[in-house]
Amino acid sequence: MSEDDKERTVELHYEGGVLKLPVHTGTEGERTIELKALLGSTGMTTLDPGFGNTASCSSKITYIDGDAGILRYRGYPIEDLAAGATFLEVAHLVIYGELPDAGRLKEFADKLRANADIPADMGTLIDAMPRNGHPMALLASAVNTLAAYYDDSVDPGDEDQVELATIRLLAKLPTIAARIYRNSIGEKPISPDDSLDYVDNFIRMTFGDVHADSELGDLFNKAVGMLLVLHADHELNCSTATVRVVGSAKADIYASVASGINALSGPSHGGANQAVLEMLEQIRDSGISLEEFLERVKAREMRLMGFGHRVYKNFDPRSKEIKELAGQILDRDENPDELFALALKLEAAALADSYFTERKLYPNVDFYTGVIYRTMGFPTNMFTVLFALGRLPGWIAHYREQLHDPDFRIARPRQHYVGSPERRLPGRD
Ligand code: ACO
C-alpha cells in the first residue's frame, strides 16, 4: 500500500463495532476496498454472486473501463495494437510486459517455430479422439496431455520450466487446433512450415494452400491476426479467472490453461461466437422477422447472443474493429455472406429498441467475429477454438503474474450457507 493509500479508509459499522478498511487506488484512479481483515475482525464474509464487485487480485496486465469503452494491454490502447502490432508482438507484450525489439522478436518467433511440432504419439492420440466431437473438448483434452508429454516443464516453482511451458503452449496450440479441424473433415494433418509466420502457418496447417497468394487470402491473414490481438487478454474474465484459480493450487500451467479452455467453451463466454452464428442461421431459416425475434428475446425466451457484457456498458471497443474488418472482407468477397447483412440489420434493430439501450446491451466482441470465420471456411464449432488461440497469451500472463504476487494464496472463496440446520437420521436420536 502506498503512503497515500494509508490515509484512505472506509468505515464498516456493524453490531460489534466499527472496522476501518483500507482503500487502494489503482493506476487510473479506480478504488478498491481491502477486505483482508473482515472475517477475522467481524466474523462476517461478503456475498457477491458472480464476483461482480470483487477484485480477487492486483494485476498489471490489462486495463478496462467498461463505461468509457476502453481496453488497454500493458497501457497500450487496443485500437493502436490492432492497427500497428502483430499477434506475436502483442503476445510478447502481454506475457513479458513490453513490446519486443526486432532482435527479441526474432528470438521469440524462432523459439516458437522450433517448438511447433507435436510428438508423433500425441498426434496419434488426437487422431483417435472422436472426429465429430466438439473441438473445444478435444483441444482441452490435448492441452491437458501436454503435461504428460513434457513433464520437464510442469513445476510452477521453477521459472525456467514455466518459460519452457510458455513457449511450448504458444508454439503447439495452433498445430493442435489445425489437426483437430483437419480430422473433423477427414483430411490428413499438415505439418508446421517454419518459413511462415505464426498466423500464416496456422492458416496453412488448417486449410492447406486454399487461401495462399490471393487478395482475399491476405485479408484473411490480416483478419485472423487482428482477431487474435483483440482477444489476447481481457483481465479477470471467466476463463482467465479459472486459469488463476486452478493455478493457485500450484497446478501446472498446462492443466491451468486446459481449464481455461473448458471455461471458455461455455456459451455465456467464448462459446457465444458460435451461438451468434447459430442464432443468425435460425433467424434466416425460420423466416421469422427481426421484430418478432427481438420480441421473443424481450419475453426472455432467449438471449440476443453477441450482445451484452458484464463489464462494457457502453460499447465493446473490440466490436468496432471487428465490424470494420468484416465489412472489408465482405466487400472483396464475390459471394458475400448473407448472414453479415442479417447481423447488420439485427444490430440496428436492437439498438433502436429501448429494451436494449436501457439495459446498456451493445454488440460485444463475438457479434461479428463468427461472420469473418465463416467466410474463411471455418465451421461454427471451430470459432471458440480461434478465441482460445487468441486468449492464450492472456491466460499465460495471468498464470505467471500470479506466481510472483506477494499476496499469492490458494483461491478459496467462502459461501453463505442457507441449507438445512443440523438434523438426525430418522430413528437414530
Ligand atoms: N439478450 C437479452 N437480454 C439480455 C442480454 C442479452 N444478450 N444480456 C443481458 N440481458 C438482460 C438481462 O435479461 C437483464 O435484464 P433485467 O435487468 O430486466 O433482468 C439485464 O440485461 C442484465 O443482465 P445480466 O444477465 O445481469 O448481465 P450479466 O452482466 O450477468 O451478463 C452476459 C453478461 C453473460 C455477457 C450477458 O449479457 C449475455 O448472456 N450475453 C449473451 C451471450 C454473449 O454474447 N456472451 C459473450 C460475452 S463477451 C465474451 O465472453 C467474450
Full DSSP string of 42-107:
HS-----GGGTT---S--SSEEEETTTTEEEETTEEHHHHHHH--HHHHHHHHHHSS---HHHHHH
Residue nearest to atom 3 of ligand 1 (CA): 303
Sign, CA dihedral 82-356-372-269, equals positive
Q: Please say if 231 is a catalytic residue.
A: no
Q: Grade residue 192 by pLDDT with cuts at 50, 70 and 90.
A: very high
The residue among 117, 61, 57 whose CA lies nearest residue 90 is: 61
User: Which residue out of 269, 303, 304, 358 has the highest number of ligand 1 atoms within 8 Å of its CB and is therefore the one to mutate?
Assistant: 303
Please indicate whether residue 305, judged by its CB atom, sits closer than 6 Å to ligand 1.
yes
Catalytic residue, chosen from 252, 309, 337, 398, is: 309
Whole-model pTM? 0.90
Q: How many other C-beta atoms are found inside a 10 Å radius of the C-beta of residue 186?
A: 7
pLDDT at 1 over 50: no
Q: Grade residue 356 by pLDDT with cuts at 50, 70 and 90.
A: very high
Residue nearest to atom 24 of ligand 1 (CA): 310
User: Which residue out of 242, 261, 316, 361 has the highest number of ligand 1 atoms within 8 Å of its CB and is therefore the one to mutate?
Assistant: 361
How much is the average pLDDT of 22-26? 96
pLDDT at 56 over 50: yes
CA 417 vs. chain centroid, Å, equals: 32
CA 309 to ligand 1 centroid distance, Å? 6
Q: What share of the chain is helix, strand, coil (3-state, %, to 5)?
A: 55, 5, 35
How much is the average pLDDT of 239-263? 98
Q: Please say if 353 is a catalytic residue.
A: no
Report pLDDT for 236.
97
Q: Dihedral, CA atoms, 348, 352, 358, 361, nearest 10 degrees? A: -10
Tell me whether residue 149 is exposed, middle or buried, using C-beta atoms within 10 angstroms of its C-beta: 0 to 12, 13 to 18, 19 or more.
Answer: middle
The fraction of the chain above a pLDDT of 90, given in percent, is 79
What are 275's three cell numbers? 451461438
pLDDT at 304 over 80: yes
Side chain identity, residue 45: T
Catalytic residue, chosen from 200, 252, 316, 366, is: 366
d(CA 97, CA 100): 9
- Give the number of residues written for the chain: 429
124-128, 245-249, 425-429: the lowest-pLDDT one? 425-429
The fraction of the chain above a pLDDT of 70, given in percent, is 98
Which residue shows C-alpha cell 472496522? Answer: 19
Report pLDDT for 273.
86
Please indicate whether residue 306, judged by its CB atom, sits closer than 6 Å to ligand 1.
yes
Instruction: Indicate the average pLDDT of the chain.
Output: 93
Report pLDDT for 334.
77
